[in-house]
Amino acid sequence: MKLAEVLADEFGRIREVVHEAVEGLSAEQLVASPAPGANTIAWLVWHLARVQDDHVADLMGTEQIWTSRGWLDRFELPFPAADIGYGHRPEDVDAVRVDSADLLTGYYDEVHEATTAWVAGLDEAALDRIVDEAWDPPVTLGVRLVSVLSDDLQHAGQAAYVRGLVLRDT
């Protein structure tokens, strides 16, 4: 397997879990909290999409899909355009409300498509490029991609878990 195929496969697995986590849920179920102060499915999927969009757009040197393709306006959230959910408090989580799962998957799918199209052109040498010198040691492109994959997989799994709790209670 080539590097680009491995990365595309891994990002594809995130997409599958995202779709499975939200498929068929009502707007009310997407924002149901399994416990006071806990993350909702809507927030988890929005956040993982924002992280991937933010980090990969930075690596690509492009504008985020969030702003370039109108998703900021479609979501109508009370956050600055650059907000990706880090440091959100329970009231911020509660502010992420959607009318349907289609809004979440629509945004995520566009981020996914841009990501996989870009990683298709990567080779092993590209992974060693320094992308962030604010850390010691400096962060390489490979390390940043692993961070995005790890964060997104964790949150997609959390969304799937919350789905199980939400459906159990209905």
Name all domains of the chain by residue range, CATH numbers in brackets.
3-169 (1.20.120.450)
**C-alpha to C-alpha distance for 16 and 3, rounded to whole angstroms:** 20
pLDDT bin (cut points 50, 70, 90) of residue 78 is very high
Spatial neighbors of 5 by CB under 8 A, at least 6 apart, are none
Q: What is the pLDDT of residues 111-131, one digit of tens each?
A: 999 999 999 999 999 999 999
pLDDT at 1: 79
Strand pairing class (130-132; 139-140): antiparallel
Q: What is the pLDDT of residues 80-114, one digit of tens each?
A: 999 999 999 999 999 999 999 999 999 999 999 99
Spatial neighbors of 49 by CB under 8 A, at least 6 apart, are 18, 104, 107, 108, 111
* DSSP string over 49-110: HHHHHHHHHHHHTS--HHHHTSHHHHHT-SS-TT--STT--HHHHHH---S-HHHHHHHHHH
Q: Summarize the confidence of residues 6-19 as an average pLDDT.
A: 96
8 A C-beta contact, residue 15 and residue 109: yes
- CA distances from residue 136 to 76, 126, 130, 140 in whole angstroms, order as listed: 37, 20, 11, 11
